[in-house]
Structure 1
């Protein structure tokens, strides 16, 4: 059985307000829920500056023993302070084994046994990046990290064999956005994929089809919706 989340008391160091926090659980590739083990004796810390490597934590699935990286537990206090919740027994991440179920359909469970994709609700730009990263992992991509080159807009993610751009802004992605992603991927000899919250301009969609760039729209539930045939194919077959 997978590790389930438990509630812990959290005091905001800025306003001293008391909270009760339960870490969200995420689905392991084996289907069991995984949640970071919270440290009841630890003290929440204030997040002042974002560092990509510190936004993720390695957590082992209690059901199958797989070690994967998941978003570090955080809590937003009504006073405006963002708190990082202490975690017990952090493990050093190791290269996880390749998923035998990569390439399954997104809904239900297919004959290869991969569970359905479990989205995270999008409330912030960070949530959009988390949703895209979890979806890439669900497709079968591993070693997901911040891309070396920063895109003109949004946030770049990279994994073995793929370069992704996540655009959490409220404007549709432009033709230039799509072309810049494709050019960067070409220089790195890798495939690419675009995730947008606000959709795409008509000329951007046409150019993406010509350049063979899969386009997804992230709805507010955190579920990527394919916007062209290439995205449909990636969603169906995985990475």
Structure 2
């Protein structure tokens, strides 16, 4: 069971009993960030990848992975970053794959079922995508070096993922830009959209070999094309 700590908002002085969320490790065991009972929460005023993610060790298999930093929304509107004992890590660039390697190369098959996380914000959409990529077998996930026209890019060894949390369906140009960026880095690519895809975007994705997923609000990525079906099944 996840531990709970008392968190006091430094703005309005309200007290909250906070329980750390648990996420599934690739071994199937639940992982929760170790909370610091003596630390003071900090107010989130702006976001960076280094602040939003921490390194946590799985107590079952001893694997270390990056997980979302615990946060709490106070009734006064303040977002609090809950103190933890985990070691913070700056992500380093992933080495490039050899040309011709697709998005399924160099990764281990996932064993446990994916555990969804409800999506209520753009940050949740990015978190779900990062967790899903880890479930697929990709690790050392970081922010992509190159920015795309819409959304947020994530990268791991051999893969670029685009997360589009906007209310507009992803366009043909969005899919093509992701594919071109991936080609320039000799990596595979995959697109995650909250609002789905335009018809011509789906057609070009099939032609270029880009798996497409829709992020539903339950946090379960849904394959849109056969390429996404194959990626989710581990057949790529």
Q: TM-score, normalization: structure 2?
A: 0.90
Does residue 27 of structure 1 match 2:24? yes
Q: Which residue of 1 aligns with 2:58?
A: 61
1:89 deviation in Å? 4.8
Q: CA RMSD in A?
A: 1.9
Does residue 146 of structure 1 match 2:152? no
Unpaired segments ≥5 residues, structure 2:
93-105
1:125 deviation in Å? 0.2
- Once residues 171 and 230 of structure 1 are traced to their aligned partners in structure 2, the CA distance between those partners, rounded to angstroms, is 22
- Once residues 59 and 27 of structure 1 are traced to their aligned partners in structure 2, the CA distance between those partners, rounded to angstroms, is 12
Aligned to 2:171, which of 160, 164, 174? Answer: 174
Q: Decide whether the 8 Å contact of 1:103 with 1:236 is kept in 2.
A: no
Three-state SS of the structure 2 residue aligned to 1:54 is helix
Matches within 5 A, 1:48-197: 48-90=45-87, 102-104=108-110, 114-197=111-194
- Once residues 37 and 94 of structure 1 are traced to their aligned partners in structure 2, the CA distance between those partners, rounded to angstroms, is 20
Unpaired segments ≥5 residues, structure 1:
105-113
- Once residues 176 and 218 of structure 1 are traced to their aligned partners in structure 2, the CA distance between those partners, rounded to angstroms, is 20
Q: Decide whether the 8 Å contact of 1:173 with 1:201 is kept in 2.
A: yes
- Once residues 160 and 61 of structure 1 are traced to their aligned partners in structure 2, the CA distance between those partners, rounded to angstroms, is 21
1:69 deviation in Å? 1.1
- Once residues 85 and 159 of structure 1 are traced to their aligned partners in structure 2, the CA distance between those partners, rounded to angstroms, is 27
Does residue 208 of structure 1 match 2:214? no
Q: Deviations over 1:93-136 (max 9, x none)?
A: 899xxxx99334xxxxxxxxx11011111011000000000100
Q: Decide whether the 8 Å contact of 2:5 with 2:35 is kept in 1.
A: yes
Three-state SS of the structure 2 residue aligned to 1:119 is coil
Q: Deviations over 1:30-55 (max 9, x none)?
A: 11111011111111100111010111
- Once residues 158 and 92 of structure 1 are traced to their aligned partners in structure 2, the CA distance between those partners, rounded to angstroms, is 16
- Once residues 136 and 186 of structure 1 are traced to their aligned partners in structure 2, the CA distance between those partners, rounded to angstroms, is 19
- Once residues 238 and 93 of structure 1 are traced to their aligned partners in structure 2, the CA distance between those partners, rounded to angstroms, is 32
Does residue 37 of structure 1 match 2:31? no
- Once residues 235 and 113 of structure 2 are traced to their aligned partners in structure 1, the CA distance between those partners, rounded to angstroms, is 13
Q: Which residue of 2 aligns with 1:109?
A: none
Q: TM-score, normalization: structure 1?
A: 0.89
Three-state SS of the structure 1 residue aligned to 2:233 is helix
- Once residues 213 and 205 of structure 2 are traced to their aligned partners in structure 1, the CA distance between those partners, rounded to angstroms, is 11
The number of equivalent residue pairs is: 223
